[in-house]
Chain A
Amino acid sequence: MEQTLYTEQSIHIDQALQNIQRLVTNIEQVIRGKRTQIQFILTALLAKGHILMEDNPGTGKTVMAKTLAQSIAGSQHQGGANFKRIQFTPDLLPMDLIGSHIFDDIRKEFIFKKGPLFCNVLLADEINRASPKVQSALLECMAENQITIGETTYPLEQLFFTIATQNPVEMEGTYPLPAAQLDRFFLKIYFGYVDEATELSIYKDYLGIQNNLQHIQQVLSMDEILFLQAEAEKVQIHEEIIAAVRNIVWETRRHPDIVLGASTRSGITFLKCLKAFALVNGRTFVTEDDLHQITRAVLDHRLIYRNKEGKQKALGSILDKELDRLGKLRIS
């Protein structure tokens, strides 16, 4: 049975791929051995979502975010994106993010001074070190894509992409993000260490005392990012894959080791991410592989597990069952 849930607009696949390839190559100049993580970040970017990166300090989270931002940032008139970075600390206040009204001595009135949120790419570093008040302020913006102060509503940029990093919640001096706020992030990825050979090559490149990050050039304009986002919209998704997403979401709600299952919104997010991920992988259709690779990143942080064993096994086995079903699907 031919499934065409797919609009008949053809994807400019070559151009899209070219763009993605350029971006990936550029980032890999700095971040080596992290192809999967780069793909996930691009997925979140193309799906018009936000991404949360978690790992121990010093694994390259911030460098990654900065590299991505620099790859697409530049002066406004060249179509470059506006990049801002906020280092979250416990004493940070919401107004430090969104900006504040200050009194203009000349005009004798209050004017709104925009905060760092008014940008295209935001790096929210160590988000779990900020107080919940600040966290929720940020996450509201991420959800609504606008900021309302008093009676005025200020829309954010058309491209607004947040890369948040956090240290593992077990570490001291952190305010863990509540599940409802974690839900705003499309993906949560873990960074992990690179392999031994890559690590050695990184050391060799960083032998100089000076910081080497300066040579990153802007490779994509903001329009091109928007173009990619539009292309991702057109990726074909088969009915069986949608059914598989539905099954997985349902199984997380039924599973005895999962206290809080995935929401319907997370299912929708899941589908968006799948499409974006397929495009990032150079395909115009979603396959089992996309499902296999992305499920944990999309769902893991939205679920609350009963115990450690559940965290380790539950989602994997749910996915495995679904992959088995898909793998044995008879096509004629």
Chain B
Amino acid sequence: MKIGKVHSWKKVFAQVLLLVVPTALLAFYLLWNVNRYYDILQNDWMRQGLYFGAGMLIATVFYGYRFRFITTAALLFAFYFIGYRMVARMQVGEFDAFFVSIRFMVFAILFSLGWITGFGFSRSRYYTVFWSVFLLAAQIIVVSKSPNINAQALISAIVPLLVYAVYIIYAAELIRNMNEDERGFAWFITKRVGGFGVILLLLVLGVFTLFKKDFLAIEKEWGDGKGGNYDKNKGNSESMTKQNRDGSMGNKDQTQLSGSLNKDKRLVFVARLDNFFPDGKTPNPLYFTAYYYTKFDTLTQTFETDSLMPANDLFKPDPSRIPLFFAKTDSTVIKNTHATKNRRVVNAEIYKTLLAANEYIAPSTAFFCQPVPVENAYKDQFKSAYRAKMWVSDLNSAYFIYNPAGNKMLENFQQERFSLLRQVTDWSGVDAAFMKYYTFMPRDAEYDRIATLAKQITQKAGATTAMDKMIALRDYFLSKDSEGQPMFKYSNNPGIPGMPSANKLNYFLFENRKGYCAYYAGATLFMLRSLGIPSRVAAGFLTVDRSSKNPGWYWFYEDQAHAWVQVYFPGYGWIDFDTTIPDLETHEARQPDGTPPLNMQQAYLVADGKVTSVDTVTKKVQMTVEKMLFHDESYDAANNPVPLNVDASIATVTTDTGAVRLSAVKKGMHITAASYAEALKNMKPQGNDNVSSVVKRIPNPTPVDEIKIIEAESEKPTSKKDIFESVEPVDWLRVLWTILIAIAALAVIVLATPWLIWQFLHLRAKAGGSDRARTFRQYRAAMYYLNQLGYYRNQSGPQQYATETDARYSTGFSRFSNVYQKLKYSSLPLSEGEKAIVAQFYRPFIKTVRAKTPFKTRVSKFANIYHTIHYFTQPKIK
């Protein structure tokens, strides 16, 4: 085997930089993807990517020399064989051997693949084409095999590969075709790749700008995670969960994949709800609301949350911002319900697991939020908790579709509430703007078709009251067709192509009849609104009562994210109605609920304020108290904080994300300390107490059981949701435009530079001065002007150049040039004639040249910076 060079080191370097590195990056991405599908890869994509990259890198450099492929490949396989035998010999247990050999196999396959790819990059012209086709084909097979693919996943699966394919073929051809001996090789490569990048950028920009509307529609369709803009018609209930949980798109994809792998649905939160039927034993579950989708945007054909909705009764505090045991209340919510009949206050406690710390979720018309600590034994399981209070209607219940057949009590309840609501027939007393808003519906043939269907259904059922119409719609969804099969089915994957929402709903209502909650809720909503019944869509969590052991405790899993309809009855307010038919497949297979957290202890003293010093050895914390709760009496000392010594030796320290050590408490932090100490139990607050008098009475240092760190505003982004929100709004389109504008500005500067220099020289040439100085400046300006027009001196002498110029423009440049040379190299004075030549040269010359050069030529030549560079650089000695 003769060893010599096939490529120069420059070419090999270019190959590594332009081919190997991007391919390795893509390999990382693909392996990361593949790892989520196949357990056998053991989620070790980082190392696998390195195997592949190493194989590719080594082969690229290696085959830069004159090695033959067959020989070296044979050596490589021999190396594998020896390696495998060694691995097999070393391992003792069968179990280990299996794992190590799997790992070795993965290594061998990936390394070989990388090796072959590296060889292809180095030696073969057509390898990149083959490789791109192979990758695309493989990806298409993978995509076609995945059970629930959506636009987002499709784009993220195919687009990077397509871009990569175009790029790699281009780059490989570029490297093949260039002459690496050329001077300025690196600059050549940079220029080409830069140009390619700009073209790609323009292409992407063009595509995005051109199809922005379609993309927005797709984005809305699949839930863009922006929080709030859920398309309730098409919105995927899954996307809501993800949003409520931690707001990460990536996790959303992952969940879908795990769903396809039949993994367990994860617990989002656990709630205790003190809502029972009048018998006092049977729990009455209520749906937990996160948002209302009230406003229909006819332009984008989507439903949106609207902070300006009439009679805003949505209470959305941030529990992570409220100190432990301190409560936040919004009584306007109660007023805005406009409900007086059959309402009462209900308590709930929510224990979060996956739900983000700053999320607040509760049954409809909540108005109170009080963060509470989680009992120590449950701190690992539940990250935070809060109490909520709601202004709840007795008529409200999760039971509507889930008719508790056989449960006499529940059947009676249904009948009672239906009969009560049937009496409501008059909406005339309701605010006109309110009615207009909540019965708004776009008008066109598509929506009219829905309206016609609603009319048919209600007329056929003979429904006259709103309640009866509501029931008729529910029954329509539950009805069976002529063959005794259910008309409508539940499906998480309704397979509706991306179309505007009315189309989509029509497809759902009249043709496909398969869908998930958002379809049912959307269809119901439009039918109700077409009948003039004010209604809205609520999004949140479906509550299922499986709590035979612990009545009133409900467990919420990811797949319980839900959307349903609320109908407004004057006097009774908003009542939940769920028309989504049961999903026979998933709603039945439930894992048993766990043990609910115990009730927390009574806190006798809660102090909220800033830390002034921490001693982690003696476990003492000094703080200044700004707010205090003492036996549920609230004291405020925000203007004059009172110092307090706290004994934290038995305290558990928590943040929103879980328990931490005392050392996490730092000076200047905002904390809430709570004490359950028996010593405080018998100290009762007195009438004229304030913070300092309480502090004087209680033991010093005060023993506390809970310290909760409340993150400062500036530290806010540490919460996951906030990172997401601060990252998500990056408008890539705008970034692209900005880059493009920057490039354009740079280009303008570059293009304008020759002209600016010319203006300067021109002005200088026209200025006065001694004969010598003037002649010099005029000569310089003339030379620059000619040079900029593309007439280089090109190894000719000044006289020759001037004569050529004169021949081209019939000017008197050579005479002037002669005088200039005389001035420059001779001590003889100028004669009168020569002085005249100098005096009459410049302006006519420039004028003539300008007149004889078409404007277009002048512009294009003056835009060429290369001429300018040529003028100012010394010629190189070749």
Q: What residues make up the interface of A, taking CB atoms closer than 8 Å to B?
A: 2-4, 6, 236-238, 240-241, 251, 255, 283-289, 291-293, 313-314, 316-321, 323-325, 327-332
Q: Which of B271-279, B381-389, B576-584, B791-799 contacts A (4 or more CB under 8 A)?
A: B791-799
Q: Which of B51-59, B508-516, B818-826 contacts A (4 or more CB under 8 A)?
A: B818-826
A327 with B875: CB separation less than 8 A: no
Determine which of A316, A320, A331 lies in contact with B824 in the assembled complex, contact meaning CB atoms within 8 Å: A331
Determine which of A236, A320, A321, A330 lies in contact with B825 in the assembled complex, contact meaning CB atoms within 8 Å: A236
A323 with B797: CB separation less than 8 A: yes
The chain A residue sitting closest to B821, CB to CB, is A287
With an 8 A cutoff between CB atoms, is B877 at the interface?
yes
A321 with B876: CB separation less than 8 A: yes
Determine which of B776, B793, B795, B800 lies in contact with A330 in the assembled complex, contact meaning CB atoms within 8 Å: B776
Taking the closest CB of chain A, its distance from the CB of B870, in whole angstroms, is 10
Task: Sample 11 A-B pairs with CB under 8 A, ordered by A number.
Answer: A238-B826, A287-B825, A289-B821, A291-B797, A292-B800, A314-B877, A317-B875, A321-B877, A323-B797, A327-B783, A331-B776
Determine which of B797, B799, B822, B827 lies in contact with A3 in the assembled complex, contact meaning CB atoms within 8 Å: B827
Determine the chain A residues whose CB is within 8 A of the CB of B262 once the complex forms: none
B772 with A331: CB separation less than 8 A: yes
A251 with B825: CB separation less than 8 A: no
With A251-B877, A317-B877 as given contacts, are A288 and B797 in contact (CB-CB < 8 Å)?
Answer: yes
A332 with B878: CB separation less than 8 A: no
Other CB < 8 Å A-B pairs besides A285-B828, A321-B876, A323-B797, 9 of them?
A288-B797, A289-B799, A293-B797, A317-B878, A319-B795, A327-B793, A330-B776, A331-B775, A332-B772
Determine which of A4, A286, A289, A317 lies in contact with B827 in the assembled complex, contact meaning CB atoms within 8 Å: A4
Determine which of B772, B773, B798, B875 lies in contact with A288 in the assembled complex, contact meaning CB atoms within 8 Å: B798
In chain B, residues 788-820, which have Cβ atoms closer than 8 Å to a Cβ of chain A?
A: 793, 795-800
The chain A residue sitting closest to B775, CB to CB, is A331
Taking the closest CB of chain A, its distance from the CB of B818, in whole angstroms, is 8
With an 8 A cutoff between CB atoms, is B639 at the interface?
no
Determine the chain A residues whose CB is within 8 A of the CB of B770 once the complex forms: 332
A314 with B878: CB separation less than 8 A: yes
Q: Which of B793, B822, B825, B827 has the most CB of A within 10 A?
A: B825
Q: Which of B797, B798, B799, B823 has the most CB of A within 10 A?
A: B797
Determine the chain B residues whose CB is within 8 A of the CB of A291 once the complex forms: 797
Total residues of chain B contacting the partner, CB 8 A: 27
Taking the closest CB of chain A, its distance from the CB of B772, in whole angstroms, is 6
Bound Cα distance from A65 to B824, whole angstroms: 36
Query: Which 9 interchain pairs have the tightest Cβ spacing?
Result: A292-B797, A285-B826, A289-B799, A287-B821, A238-B825, A289-B797, A317-B878, A313-B878, A320-B875
The chain A residue sitting closest to B796, CB to CB, is A292
Taking the closest CB of chain B, its distance from the CB of A79, in whole angstroms, is 32
Q: Which of A238, A255, A327, A329 has the most CB of B within 10 A?
A: A327
In chain B, residues 862-878, which have Cβ atoms closer than 8 Å to a Cβ of chain A?
A: 874-878
The chain A residue sitting closest to B873, CB to CB, is A324
The chain B residue sitting closest to A255, CB to CB, is B877
B875 with A289: CB separation less than 8 A: no
Taking the closest CB of chain B, its distance from the CB of A253, in whole angstroms, is 12
Bound Cα distance from A324 to B795, whole angstroms: 9
B824 with A287: CB separation less than 8 A: yes
B825 with A241: CB separation less than 8 A: yes
B875 with A285: CB separation less than 8 A: no
Bound Cα distance from A332 to B878, whole angstroms: 32
The chain A residue sitting closest to B822, CB to CB, is A285
Taking the closest CB of chain B, its distance from the CB of A186, in whole angstroms, is 20
Taking the closest CB of chain B, its distance from the CB of A318, in whole angstroms, is 6
Determine the chain A residues whose CB is within 8 A of the CB of B780 once the complex forms: 328
Bound Cα distance from A3 to B775, whole angstroms: 18
The chain B residue sitting closest to A325, CB to CB, is B874
A332 with B875: CB separation less than 8 A: no
Bound Cα distance from A163 to B827, whole angstroms: 35
Bound Cα distance from A288 to B821, whole angstroms: 8
Bound Cα distance from A236 to B825, whole angstroms: 8
The chain A residue sitting closest to B772, CB to CB, is A331
A324 with B874: CB separation less than 8 A: yes
Taking the closest CB of chain A, its distance from the CB of B648, in whole angstroms, is 79
Determine the chain B residues whose CB is within 8 A of the CB of A288 once the complex forms: 797-798, 821, 825
With A238-B825, A241-B825 as given contacts, are A323 and B773 in contact (CB-CB < 8 Å)?
Answer: no
Determine the chain A residues whose CB is within 8 A of the CB of B773 once the complex forms: 331-332
Determine the chain B residues whose CB is within 8 A of the CB of A319 once the complex forms: 795
Determine which of B783, B798, B800, B876 lies in contact with A317 in the assembled complex, contact meaning CB atoms within 8 Å: B876
Taking the closest CB of chain A, its distance from the CB of B337, in whole angstroms, is 86
Determine the chain B residues whose CB is within 8 A of the CB of A318 once the complex forms: 877
The chain A residue sitting closest to B823, CB to CB, is A331
In chain B, residues 598-618, which have Cβ atoms closer than 8 Å to a Cβ of chain A?
A: none
The chain A residue sitting closest to B876, CB to CB, is A317
Determine the chain B residues whose CB is within 8 A of the CB of A321 once the complex forms: 874-877
Determine the chain A residues whose CB is within 8 A of the CB of B828 once the complex forms: 236, 284-285
Bound Cα distance from A327 to B871, whole angstroms: 11
A238 with B798: CB separation less than 8 A: no
Bound Cα distance from A317 to B821, whole angstroms: 22
The chain A residue sitting closest to B794, CB to CB, is A320
Taking the closest CB of chain B, its distance from the CB of A313, in whole angstroms, is 5
Bound Cα distance from A239 to B776, whole angstroms: 18
Bound Cα distance from A309 to B97, whole angstroms: 67
Q: Which of A6, A251, A284, A320 has the most CB of B within 10 A?
A: A320
Give a binary string over B755-784; 1 marks a CB under 8 Å from any A CB, 0 the rest: 000000000000000101101100010010
Determine the chain B residues whose CB is within 8 A of the CB of A292 once the complex forms: 796-800
Taking the closest CB of chain A, its distance from the CB of B783, in whole angstroms, is 7
The chain A residue sitting closest to B770, CB to CB, is A332
The chain B residue sitting closest to A295, CB to CB, is B797
Bound Cα distance from A289 to B799, whole angstroms: 6
Determine the chain B residues whose CB is within 8 A of the CB of A323 once the complex forms: 793, 795, 797-798
B795 with A329: CB separation less than 8 A: no
Bound Cα distance from A314 to B795, whole angstroms: 12
Determine which of A236, A289, A332 lies in contact with B800 in the assembled complex, contact meaning CB atoms within 8 Å: A289
B824 with A329: CB separation less than 8 A: yes
Bound Cα distance from A184 to B783, whole angstroms: 39
Bound Cα distance from A319 to B780, whole angstroms: 20
The chain A residue sitting closest to B820, CB to CB, is A331
Bound Cα distance from A36 to B772, whole angstroms: 31
Bound Cα distance from A144 to B823, whole angstroms: 39
Determine which of B776, B783, B793 lies in contact with A332 in the assembled complex, contact meaning CB atoms within 8 Å: B776
Determine the chain B residues whose CB is within 8 A of the CB of A237 once the complex forms: 825
Taking the closest CB of chain B, its distance from the CB of A82, in whole angstroms, is 37
Determine which of A3, A289, A316 lies in contact with B798 in the assembled complex, contact meaning CB atoms within 8 Å: A289
Taking the closest CB of chain B, its distance from the CB of A288, in whole angstroms, is 5
Q: Which of B772, B795, B827 has the most CB of A within 10 A?
A: B827
Determine the chain B residues whose CB is within 8 A of the CB of A316 once the complex forms: 795
Q: Which of B793, B823, B824 has the most CB of A within 10 A?
A: B824
Q: Which of A316, A330, A331 has the most CB of B within 10 A?
A: A331
